[in-house]
């Protein structure tokens, strides 16, 4: 699996390299304890060492590697790290959904429904990459729509890892067939319906159920 080229349009060379390395680290292709050489990565990507340094700095800030004099040591993501990532997602998204449930966000809800319809099309065409990107876009749209600067700042600090994990876990979901995929789509529709109730208790229960199920998928996808 490689990072989809369409997702890298307009990003810097350093960001592009970071995306590829992030995917390999989280998938376990590059294992914990391995040393990443600046020169080797530069040769692999046909670039100078400058964008490689940029990429390694990004991955270090995300806690995936520890920088050394001429490269980096891979720290990776343990299952505990991933569970904590989902805890942070839960806190961010439950806040965002309750905020949307306060009303006045009809345009956001229309956009969310459109994204779900596009997810249906991605299933029809068996496009797991497009599905994972739409899934990510759906969740980010809720967070952006909540219009809370600090929550958005927190989300941006984890969004690249979240997107990469979604790319990996969506492969597992697609392997389980269309019935499972329709279940995932219905979970998203349920989130929107909960927001439309404007009932904080209903929204809270739905988001708890959503993340409980997502954690099960996480455990079966990444070991």
Q: What is the pLDDT of residues 137-162, one digit of tens each?
A: 999 999 999 999 999 999 999 999 99
Residue 190 has pLDDT above 80, yes or no: yes
How much is the pLDDT for 71? 76
In sequence order, what are the residues at sequence separation of 6 or more whose Cβ sits closer than 8 angstroms to the Cβ of residue 31? 74, 76
How much is the pLDDT for 101? 96
Tell me, yes or no, whether 32 and 104 share the same domain: no
Q: Which two tokens stand for residue 60?
A: 């270090």
Tell me, yes or no, whether 89 and 54 share the same domain: no
How far apart, in whole angstroms, are the C-alpha atoms of residue 223 and residue 221? 7
Tell me, yes or no, whether 57 and 157 share the same domain: no
Q: Tell which of 53, 74, 95 closes a domain.
A: 74
9: left (phi over 0), alpha (psi -120 to 50) or beta: beta
Residue 203 has pLDDT above 90, yes or no: yes
> In this predicted model, which residue has the larger pLDDT, 120 or 8?
120
Asked whether residue 65 is assigned to any structural domain, the reply reads yes
Q: What is the pLDDT of residues 69-81, one digit of tens each?
A: 877 999 999 889 9
How much is the pLDDT for 110? 97
Q: Tell which of 55, 74, 93 closes a domain.
A: 74
Residue 2 has pLDDT above 90, yes or no: no
How much is the pLDDT for 10? 79
Tell me, yes or no, whether 17 and 37 share the same domain: yes
Tell me, yes or no, whether 40 and 93 share the same domain: no
In sequence order, what are the residues at sequence separation of 6 or more whose Cβ sits closer than 8 angstroms to the Cβ of residue 155? 92, 140, 143
Count of C-beta atoms within a 10 Å radius of residue 106 = 10
Q: Which domain holds residue 95?
A: 79-222
Tell me, yes or no, whether 123 and 180 share the same domain: yes
How much is the pLDDT for 204? 94
Given a contact cutoff of 8 angstroms between Cβ atoms, the answer to whether 220 and 167 are in contact is no
Tell me, yes or no, whether 104 and 143 share the same domain: yes
pTM: 0.91
Cα dihedral 201, 202, 206, 207 in deg (nearest 10) = -40
Q: Which two tokens stand for residue 156?
A: 């941006």
- CATH number for the domain harbouring residue 17: 1.10.10.10
Tell me, yes or no, whether 69 and 99 share the same domain: no
The H-assigned helical ranges of 146-176 are: 149-175
Tell me, yes or no, whether 65 and 157 share the same domain: no
Tell me, yes or no, whether 126 and 44 share the same domain: no
Tell me, yes or no, whether 52 and 85 share the same domain: no
Number of domains in the chain: 2
How much is the pLDDT for 217? 73
How much is the pLDDT for 179? 92
Asked whether residue 162 is assigned to any structural domain, the reply reads yes
pLDDT confidence bin for 222, thresholds 50/70/90: low
Q: What is the pLDDT of residues 171-182, one digit of tens each?
A: 888 999 999 999
Asked whether residue 1 is assigned to any structural domain, the reply reads no
In sequence order, what are the residues at sequence separation of 6 or more whose Cβ sits closer than 8 angstroms to the Cβ of residue 192? 109, 112, 113, 116
- CATH number for the domain harbouring residue 121: 1.20.120.530
Q: Tell which of 43, 74, 105 closes a domain.
A: 74
Asked whether residue 149 is assigned to any structural domain, the reply reads yes
């Amino acid at each position: 699996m490689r990072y989809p080229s369409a997702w890298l349009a307009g990003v810097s060379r350093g960001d592009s390299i970071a995306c590829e390395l992030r995917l390999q680290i989280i998938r376990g292709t590059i294992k914990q304890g391995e040393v990443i050489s600046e020169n080797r990565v530069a040769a692999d990507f046909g670039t100078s060492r400058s964008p490689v340094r940029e990429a390694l700095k990004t991955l270090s800030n995300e806690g995936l590697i520890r920088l050394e004099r001429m490269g980096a040591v891979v720290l990776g993501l343990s299952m505990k790290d991933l569970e904590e990532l989902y805890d942070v997602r839960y806190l961010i998204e439950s806040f965002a959904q309750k905020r949307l449930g306060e009303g006045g966000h009809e345009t956001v809800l229309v956009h969310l429904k459109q994204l779900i319809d596009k997810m249906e099309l991605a299933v029809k065409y068996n496009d797991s990459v497009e599905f994972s990107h739409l899934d990510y876009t759906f969740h980010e749209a809720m967070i952006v729509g909540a219009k809370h600067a600090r929550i958005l700042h927190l989300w941006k600090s984890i969004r690249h890892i979240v997107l990469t994990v979604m790319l990996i876990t969506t492969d597992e979901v697609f392997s389980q067939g269309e019935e499972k995929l329709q279940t995932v789509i219905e979970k998203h529709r349920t989130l929107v319906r909960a927001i439309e109730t404007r009932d904080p208790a209903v929204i809270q229960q739905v988001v708890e159920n959503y993340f409980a199920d997502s954690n099960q998928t996480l455990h079966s996808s990444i070991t």
